[in-house]
Amino acid sequence: MGNLAKGASSLVGSPALVAAMLSFTIAQICKVFTHYHTTGKVDWGRLVGSGGMPSSHTALVVGLTTAIGLKDALDSSIFALCLVFSLVVMYDATGVRLHAGRQAEVLNQLIVELPRDHPLTDSRPLRDSLGHTPVQVAVGALLGMVVGYAHFNIWLISQGVDL
């Protein structure tokens, strides 16, 4: 088997990568339902959009971190790297990205209030769902931990390890 083919099967068999991608996918699907719950409208764009409940980026990095912590131990350097990476992503989601989204809301409102003949009235609205509230990030983290833990245990069973 060539190195490329072996690499592709290794990626698909990686408990950390699969846990991360599964966490992200579940979070994105959940956004359709949470958006419907809060607005009463189905928005399939939430499947690929940023912002909203839960934080899919947080779910992704925490799912990865959880699976790596379980596989390689909590005292491993790779777990420490993933944990720091996860904390940076969560901080960014509730800090810079959240405030950039709030600023976009204000700018969009200002543009709406401009006189009709102003050159900016024809501009496309800025995306305002960029960041997350702390609750959205916490739910994303919880989702990532649960999916990472569950998938890792499924992976162990598939490897013939008794739990």
Residue 71: per-residue pLDDT: 94
Per-residue pLDDT of the chain (163 residues; tens, 9 = 90+): 455 566 666 666 789 999 999 999 999 999 998 888 888 888 887 778 777 789 999 999 999 999 999 999 999 999 999 999 999 999 888 877 666 767 777 777 777 777 777 776 677 766 666 667 889 999 999 999 999 999 999 998 888 887 7
Task: Give the global pTM.
Answer: 0.77
Is the Cβ–Cβ distance between 28 and 51 less than 8 Å?
no
Q: What DSSP state is assigned to residue 125?
A: P
Query: How far apart (Å, rounded) are the C-alpha atoms in residues 89 and 40?
Result: 30
Six-digit token pair at 27? 């979070």
